[in-house]
A = this chain, B = another copy of it.
Amino acid sequence: MDAGRDERSVTPQSEDFSAWYNELVLRAGLVDRGPAKGTMVIRPYGYRLWELLQAELDRRIKETGHDNAYFPLLIPESYLRREAEHVEGFSPELAVVTHAGGKELEEPLVVRPTSETIIGEMMSRWISSHRDLPLLLNQWANVVRWELRPRMFLRTTEFLWQEGHTAHAGEADAMRETMLALGLYEEVARDIAAMPVVPGEKTAGERFAGAQRTFTIEGMMRDGRALQAGTSHYMGTNFARAFDISYTSAEGRLEPCHTTSWGMSTRMIGGVIMTHGDDKGLVLPPRIAPYQVVIVPVGRGGEEVLAEARELAIRLRAAGVRVHVDDRPHLSPGYKFNDWEMRGVPVRLELGPRDLAARTALMARRLTEHGKEPIPLDTAPGVLPEVLDDFQALLLRRATAFRDDHTRETGDWDSFTEAVATGWALAGHCGDPVCEEDIKARTGATPRCVPLDGPPFSGPCVRCHAPAAYGKRVIFGRAY
């Protein structure tokens, strides 16, 4: 997972967050630039991160009764026009196939920006009776949305995601599904990516095109900005009416279905980078780190040390640890230490002739609060899984503390503007989209969500002093 990386060092995060990110994703070998505007090549190290995250989410999606399926990439343009709000939301971002098989097509085909419409069309064919409900589908796929200001993982012309699409007999069932999906996202973000995201509802101005209610998980990045890391939508009967998704109830009445949709994408990788990374580079949560442990031979031990390193790797692998032996003969240990720190490997084991004599390896964690410590070779397979669990927990604690330190309850405009300059503000808001726009124009901050578990609040709007809506404070922040 190595060849062809740019080996210059990365601008420190503390100096220029944006430069740090843009350089790091390339230098750590996560991605490369694709030839078409805004596209990215996901390199093996980045793709493995995605695969590990994907496996965790896929398992949960299946366990909650959803079936994976696959729908065509190319969608007749007319499908997108059936739901007016939907086409408005997407039309400037579409990539359109006009020629195929050596001819101009009679009807242009859109490269899917999302599969809502084609899945809607299929649902209308597949559902006829209440016995066909709920219909719980998920798809892992690539989608294309033309990006004018692309950024690796965060906004790319093509990205990978899963999109859940479900149909239900009534609102209550569909809303349960919407919240179930949101819960899966929160769990994966927290327990796997160590991202202490806040689940909440989007305000009307930030809703998905065509949705009746949109829920989100919002993560705080280390520059204080918010990242929308997953969304779950209750579509009401909007889509069902546009695509004629209806069923005959047990009482024999024809009823429209209530539908949901929800998605999580490769954007999450950007979230992981910006939640945990530091001046030295990536810091990867062990649960999705391609290599959880890297063994670096040091000193003049030659083949004997290398053989022992490989033997240790085999035993660690048998204990379920993802481990890599860095046996590159032409690079110095010091270079390798920096390289794997930059690439975010949670634990490094150094192994030299003196360690071998003592039957130990020298362990260094990626966040060096403990310093280096020797661990016995014999017990390493028992010890490392625990060390990795602790490291995973540490990342979540650290990110939670950072988020809380950079979130402020604000009642007045001055403290609001101060708060959103470096983090999030929890503030009352009137709910008026015009007032939202005003706040955005003045501060760059937008309402990220109305947090699900926010305490009751009934004061005035932080900007216009009209009575606050939602019954709670809203999280405002500058967003990716």
Take A36-B109, A44-B68, A100-B95 as given contacts and tell me if A74 and B4 are in contact as well, using a CB distance cutoff of 8 Å: no
Residue A480 interfacial (CB < 8 Å): no
Neighbour of A96 across the interface among B2, B94, B100, CB < 8 A: B100
Return chain B residues, CB-CB under 8 Å to A79: 35
The distance in angstroms between the C-alpha atoms of A135 and B5, with both chains bound, is 13
> In the bound complex, do residue B97 and residue A111 qualify as a contact, i.e. CB atoms below 8 Å apart?
yes
Selecting from A124-132, A202-210, A229-237, A394-402, the interface stretch reads: A124-132
> In the bound complex, do residue A101 and residue B93 qualify as a contact, i.e. CB atoms below 8 Å apart?
yes
Neighbour of A92 across the interface among B70, B95, B102, B121, CB < 8 A: B102
> In the bound complex, do residue A67 and residue B109 qualify as a contact, i.e. CB atoms below 8 Å apart?
no
> In the bound complex, do residue B43 and residue A100 qualify as a contact, i.e. CB atoms below 8 Å apart?
no
The distance in angstroms between the C-alpha atoms of A88 and B203, with both chains bound, is 53
> In the bound complex, do residue A101 and residue B97 qualify as a contact, i.e. CB atoms below 8 Å apart?
no
The distance in angstroms between the C-alpha atoms of A158 and B122, with both chains bound, is 17
Return chain B residues, CB-CB under 8 Å to A142: 73, 141-142
Return chain B residues, CB-CB under 8 Å to A468: none
Residue of chain B at shortest CB distance from A142: B73
> In the bound complex, do residue B97 and residue A39 qualify as a contact, i.e. CB atoms below 8 Å apart?
no
> In the bound complex, do residue B39 and residue A74 qualify as a contact, i.e. CB atoms below 8 Å apart?
yes
The distance in angstroms between the C-alpha atoms of A50 and B39, with both chains bound, is 27
Q: Considering the complex of A and B, which 8 residue pairs feature the smallest CB-CB distances, nearest first?
A: A4-B126, A44-B67, A101-B146, A3-B132, A39-B72, A34-B72, A42-B70, A95-B100
A-B contacts, 30 of them at CB < 8 A, read: A2-B132, A3-B126, A3-B128, A3-B135, A4-B127, A4-B128, A32-B122, A32-B125, A34-B72, A36-B76, A36-B109, A37-B100, A41-B70, A41-B71, A44-B68, A44-B137, A47-B70, A50-B70, A51-B68, A70-B160, A73-B111, A73-B142, A73-B144, A74-B144, A96-B97, A97-B97, A98-B99, A102-B146, A141-B142, A142-B142
